[in-house]
Amino acid sequence: MALRGKMLGMGSEFRDAIQAVAKSGMSSHRGGVQGTDRILGYVCAIHDIDDEDDELRGTIDVQEYDCDSENVNGQPIGFHEGVFLNAIQNNKSGYYIIPQLYSDVVIQQDPSSHEEYVVMYSHVSVFNLQVHDEIIHTVTEYEDFNESDDGLEKDYDELEEMGKKSTIVQTADGFEETITDADDNELKTVKTAQQKVITVGDTTITIDGDKVTIETKNGVNIKSDNANIEGDNVTVKGSSVKITGGTLEVKGTSNTDGLGPFNIIKACPFSGALHGGSQVSGT
């Protein structure tokens, strides 16, 4: 369209005016195009799964910081109701984060559906991650990177491992945790609903239902100011058993088979009656 008459020579001003009119219906109160900017605010309400409004369940309300307190049509400026926690699915399963009340969040709008969702969180109340197969967490110690005038000597994926590593593999059956140091010492823990097995070197501790088993080559030490061992049947077995450290007190009545340590004189020197015994009853 050509400009004539008094409008001649005002093409630039005219184009600016037309653009301003075109953008007026597309611009937000922040000056950007609707649905394209990220909005900083705080969480002013959290709608749980029991919320009275079923359309708001699993969402949050966000109030922008850079807005005054004036209301428009009964709503405060910069108030966002029903902001989703995830942009691509509902908040009942999968991956989602529930922020703390009054914490900072950054939200964005889907330009096609105009639904708003959270993209960044400052403080988290609930972190949910539900997967079908397994979750693997690994922390590995690498050598430090060196920076020269020409940049990094090695890229991050070229740095060598230093030997320390911890890994947690989680499945529907349970956990397997492994910790390794630079000397190849390893601690492994396997946990299921039926048992827990801890392995360190040649030592294995197994908790299987109501049974605990300790297997080791070197030794087992139990140290306490007060130790108590109870059981219906207690057996102490070894090629050499030694009890030391003070007074041994055993209450009850000894038998008289002459085999035990419960009398300093095994037999009466006059009658020959046995004094010692190997069993005590009635304790």
Per-residue tokens: 250: 């055993």
Are 42 and 89 contained in the same domain?
Answer: yes
Are 152 and 198 contained in the same domain?
Answer: yes
Are 91 and 189 contained in the same domain?
Answer: no
Measured CA to CA, the distance from residue 275 to residue 265 in angstroms comes to: 6
Which residues have C-beta within 8 Å of that of residue 120, sequence separation ≥ 6? 105, 106
Q: How many domains does the chain divide into?
A: 3
Is the pLDDT score of 104 beyond 90? yes
Are 124 and 142 contained in the same domain?
Answer: no
Decide if 31 is inside a domain. yes
Decide which of 111 and 262 is more confident: 111
Is the pLDDT score of 254 beyond 90? no
Decide if 41 is inside a domain. yes
> What pLDDT does residue 111 have?
79
Is the pLDDT score of 110 beyond 80? yes
236-275 burial by CB neighbour count: b if 16+ within 10 A, else e? eeeeeeeeeeeeeeeeeebebeeebebeeeeeeeeeeebb
Decide if 235 is inside a domain. no
Measured CA to CA, the distance from residue 259 to residue 274 in angstroms comes to: 9
Decide which of 265 and 217 is more confident: 217
Decide if 229 is inside a domain. no
- Tell me the residue range of the domain where 42 lies: 15-129
- Where a domain ends, among 109, 129, 149? 129
Please give the average per-residue pLDDT across 202-210, as a whole number. Answer: 91
Please give the average per-residue pLDDT across 245-269, as a whole number. Answer: 68
Are 197 and 116 contained in the same domain?
Answer: no
- Amino acid at residue number 214: I
Are 124 and 143 contained in the same domain?
Answer: no
Are 79 and 99 contained in the same domain?
Answer: yes
- Where a domain ends, among 72, 96, 129? 129
Measured CA to CA, the distance from residue 85 to residue 119 in angstroms comes to: 8
Contact yes or no for 228/236 (Cβ under 8 A): no
Is the pLDDT score of 213 beyond 70? yes
> What pLDDT does residue 49 have?
82
Is the pLDDT score of 122 beyond 80? yes
Decide if 76 is inside a domain. yes
> What pLDDT does residue 120 have?
94
Which pLDDT tens digit goes with each residue over 37-80?
Answer: 789 999 999 998 888 998 898 899 999 986 655 655 555 678 89
Decide which of 103 and 65 is more confident: 103
Decide if 206 is inside a domain. yes
pLDDT band at 198 (very low <50, low <70, confident <90, very high): very high
pLDDT band at 271 (very low <50, low <70, confident <90, very high): confident
Please give the average per-residue pLDDT across 105-113, as a whole number. Answer: 88
Decide if 181 is inside a domain. yes
Are 31 and 124 contained in the same domain?
Answer: yes
Which pLDDT tens digit goes with each residue over 150-184?
Answer: 777 788 788 899 999 999 999 999 999 999 999 99
- Where a domain ends, among 191, 215, 239? 215
Are 117 and 22 contained in the same domain?
Answer: yes
Are 64 and 92 contained in the same domain?
Answer: yes
Decide if 221 is inside a domain. no
Are 158 and 122 contained in the same domain?
Answer: no
Is the pLDDT score of 199 beyond 90? yes
Are 57 and 108 contained in the same domain?
Answer: yes
- The closest of 182, 176, 171, 219 to 199, measured between CA atoms, is 176
Please give the average per-residue pLDDT across 79-97, as a whole number. Answer: 83
Which of 112-116, 124-128, 224-228, 256-260 shows the lowest per-residue confidence on average (mean pLDDT)? 256-260
Is the pLDDT score of 3 beyond 60? no
pLDDT band at 100 (very low <50, low <70, confident <90, very high): very high
